[in-house]
Structure 1
Amino acid sequence: MQAAMNDNTHSILNNATAADPGASPSLSATFVCDAHGAMLHWTASAQWLLGYDDAAVRQLSLRDIVSNADALLQVEDAANCVTTSATARRADGSTFPVELHAFPEADGAWRIFACDVTCRKERDIELSQLRTALRQDEVDKARYTATLEAQAEALKQANEDLQRLVSASPYAILSVDPDLRVRLWNSAAERCFNCREEDALGEPLESVLDPSAREPILKGVWRAAAEQRLVQLDDVHVGGDATGGGRLLSVTIAPVRNDSDGPPTGPACMMLAVDITDRRKLEARLAHVQKLESIGELAAGVAHEINTPIQYVGDNVRFLQEAFESLAPSLQELAASTPASDAVALHRSIQEHLAAADLPFLLEECPKAIEQALEGVERVATIVRAMKDFSHPGVEEMTMVDLRNAITSTVTIARNEWKYVADVELDLDPALPLTPCLPGEFNQALLNIVVNAAQAIAERQNSDSSGKGLIRITAKPSGSMVEIRVKDTGGGIPQAIRDRVFDLFFTTKDVGKGTGQGLAIAHSCIVERHKGELYFEVEEGVGTTFVIRLPLCQDSQSQQPTMEQAA
């Protein structure tokens, strides 16, 4: 009987092992119990798996080994072979999952094969987790796919909106690839550069640009690529001929990268061009109007400046008239005399007339009167020339200007603004080169600064009864620039308003005494129109120095001659 049981045990073991690849003989046990669960037979592997020795096993029942009551009842109540899952308990009290194969024997005994399925349970758990993760991945994939589709649709819509916006934009928008071939050209670009979109796309940029705009734009493209920053080109001339015409464009060039951190893509770039022809014309008119307005405001002072020399010209001319009238009788008598006339009597008569006219006095004073009259005439002529130079509409393009004459004329025009509150000192370098600028606009900017300096000194005199102030104007070359400094003794600009000095319509003066446009216009003229610099330095309690820096070279202009070389 023992042999038969052993054979059956091996058969069950082999079958169970085949059924569970995760099991092994060392993780399985076979034992026989009676109808009450008492142990009748067991294998060595059962002792090893459960941790009991031979003597201890004899004291055990099925309930001591199988802790799962439900599984135990199923085994006890079953009339046929039962396979079920249960929990087994080791000698040390630990438990582990097992699969039970129970076979009924005679007399109510059971032959039971137990297999440790811990690894299988762990694999089942892992597999369940993998299946859960896979299902979640599928859900995430579906959600991600839906999101991508929505984003693709939104991107498509945004691209269509962008295309419509670019097409409808009043500004010329164009782009070029790294080979400088056009890949975007909207309808406004057609109008600005007089080239149709179908003729521009795919063509070299150089071939579709107007000849007058080709050089500055290509230089701007390469500079944007080299410096990797926006490049602004103002007053790019397009169209027209040697006699004029055409349009002026403001062109902004932005380099293009592969991505935010990627390397530059050669000269590839985007360009935005705006037709500023009408704006420039309007600015020129407004500047001229503002210039005339300034002259209107200074008219009373200029009239006074002219009236003073006119008065002493008139006084000296009247003196000469009276002198001539006193000498006229002698001249008339001399003219009426004949060779037969009594020379002694004629000489006596002329001497009497000359004595009555006080000839020594006339000989001394008449040359002085003539000299003073000529000085007065020259003074009037100087003021008229200054007004003419200042109020001239000027030119739309840069011209070579003698800044010494421009500064002197402006100071002359503003004389009535400063002569009662300050003295003006000019220190203008004789070697000052001719400088490219817009003379009318420069004169206006300098006038605004000089008038502002005079007003600052006047305000200080009213507040602390200080004496006459000083405005010192210097001009000299400074590297590739010309530097003009206007220094006053007006006490300085308060810290609280320094950031707003160049703001349009900002003023600290009473209503009716200032519009807040002077320094704003000066800043726009120097910085935007001349590509120069305008800033100020403050010495607390002493005064302010406004510094104008103008480049000696504008665009293609090279070294400029000095006044002496030009002469």
Structure 2
Amino acid sequence: MCAPEENNENNEIKQAELIADLNQTIKIQADEISILREKFIQSDKLAFIGQLSAGIMHEIKNPLNFVNNFSRLSLDMIKELNENIELIKDKIDKSALDDLMDISEILQGNIQKILDNGSRAERIVFGMLAQARENKAIEFVATDINQMVEEYTKLAYHGARGENKEFNLSFKFNLDPIVGIVKIVPLDFSRVIINIVNNACFALNEKKKVQKDFTPEMIISTKKTDMVLELIIRDNGTGMPQSVIDKIFKPFFTTKPIGQGTGLGLSMCYDIITNVHKGKIDVKTEQDKFTEFIITVPLNL
């Protein structure tokens, strides 16, 4: 039989071990709570930025309409001017006539460029305003996929450059014209493009910081096969280890520093593609070489 002193000593050791385990558990939980609190703070900040952006977009919309409407009017006036020049061309010196026609052609080309880019900005503004509306029912809309992919890819890139003017990358768009018009939820689909391109820009920028001779590249491809739309976004950035791939679509998981990511972007992308569009989102990667997101969406939505 054990002496009472030995039993007391064993009990004290067990109690000390239990207390140590409990303290360790409390520390771990406290750390997790601290991380979650920081992420929720970032989410609140994002919500505020979203509200602020909606207000800014409303303010931009009116002058943008002015630019586009007067560009259209100016194009009509140039057309009318050309018709009048045609009526009096026999009464004008040939050299002066050639100058007039050259000026008219240059004006028409410049104003058309203003209208094209203004219309592009208008589509982006209306898209962002629609995203700011709450409780909006899911609506599938016939959408020019290639146009959307190119516009929102460049929008995300310029957003990344807004934070770091030194950051540059080369794009290669392999957009299959056969893709054409596809029914999607454009607001949600554009958010997927922006999130993935944002992450790619972050990885490319991180790699550029440590490899000064590195050339950041991004390849964006679309393809239509067997009643499926396929979108591939590939970068030659840092890549990811398997431990990150296993968690990449989980809410609140992020490899970015605190304040630069909430861990909600890719989980939201996963939900939009799999639940809303009944598709798939896969990732292929090799550490320090590339990351490739493959999105497939059925065309019979």
Among 380, 385, 390, the residue aligned to 2:118? 380
Deviation at 1:545, TM superposition (A): 0.5
Cross-structure match for 1:439: 186
Cross-structure match for 1:427: 174
SS in 1 for 2:246: helix
Q: In the TM superposition, what are the counterparts of 1:163-312 in structure 2 within 5 Å?
A: 293=50, 296=53
> Which has the larger strand fraction?
1
Take 1:522 and 1:294, find their aligned partners in 2: how far apart are those partners? 21
Among 203, 213, 216, the residue aligned to 1:469? 216
Cross-structure match for 1:24: none
Cross-structure match for 1:518: 265
- State the aligned residue count: 215
Among 181, 185, 197, the residue aligned to 1:450? 197
Does the Cα contact within 8 Å between 1:383 and 1:413 map onto a contact in 2?
no
Deviation at 1:384, TM superposition (A): 2.5
The one-letter code of the counterpart of 2:184 is C
Does the Cα contact within 8 Å between 1:395 and 1:438 map onto a contact in 2?
no
Does the Cα contact within 8 Å between 1:400 and 1:436 map onto a contact in 2?
yes
Deviation at 1:369, TM superposition (A): 6.6
Query: Any idea what the Cα deviations from partners look like across 1:180-230, whole Å, max 9, x if unmatched?
Result: xxxxxxxxxxxxxxxxxxxxxxxxxxxxxxxxxxxxxxxxxxxxxxxxxxx
1:540 aligns with 2:287: yes
Query: Any idea what the Cα deviations from partners look like across 1:31-81, whole Å, max 9, x if unmatched?
Result: xxxxxxxxxxxxxxxxxxxxxxxxxxxxxxxxxxxxxxxxxxxxxxxxxxx
Q: In the TM superposition, what are the counterparts of 1:94-133 in structure 2 within 5 Å?
A: none
Cross-structure match for 2:144: 402
Cross-structure match for 1:553: 300
SS in 2 for 1:503: coil
The one-letter code of the counterpart of 2:50 is E
Deviation at 1:395, TM superposition (A): 4.8
Cross-structure match for 2:75: none
> Taking structure 1 as reference, are residues 367 and 479 closer, same or farther at Cα in structure 2, changes over 3 Å only?
closer
The one-letter code of the counterpart of 2:152 is T
> Which has the larger helix fraction?
2
> Taking structure 1 as reference, are residues 370 and 477 closer, same or farther at Cα in structure 2, changes over 3 Å only?
closer
Deviation at 1:367, TM superposition (A): 6.0
Deviation at 1:295, TM superposition (A): 9.2
1:531 aligns with 2:273: no
Among 242, 246, 249, the residue aligned to 1:499? 246
Take 1:487 and 1:396, find their aligned partners in 2: how far apart are those partners? 28
SS in 2 for 1:392: helix
> Given the two structures, how large is their TM-score scaled by the length of structure 2?
0.59
The one-letter code of the counterpart of 2:138 is E
> Given the two structures, how large is their TM-score scaled by the length of structure 1?
0.33
Does the Cα contact within 8 Å between 1:418 and 1:451 map onto a contact in 2?
yes
Aligned-pair identity in percent equals 23
Cross-structure match for 1:414: 156
Deviation at 1:366, TM superposition (A): 8.4
Deviation at 1:483, TM superposition (A): 0.9
> Taking structure 1 as reference, are residues 509 and 383 closer, same or farther at Cα in structure 2, changes over 3 Å only?
same
Take 1:409 and 1:290, find their aligned partners in 2: how far apart are those partners? 24
Q: What are the ranges of 5 or more consecutive residues in structure 2 without an aligned counterpart?
A: 1-42, 61-66, 68-97, 162-166
Among 388, 392, 410, the residue aligned to 2:130? 392
Q: What are the ranges of 5 or more consecutive residues in structure 1 without an aligned counterpart?
A: 1-285, 304-309, 311-359, 555-567
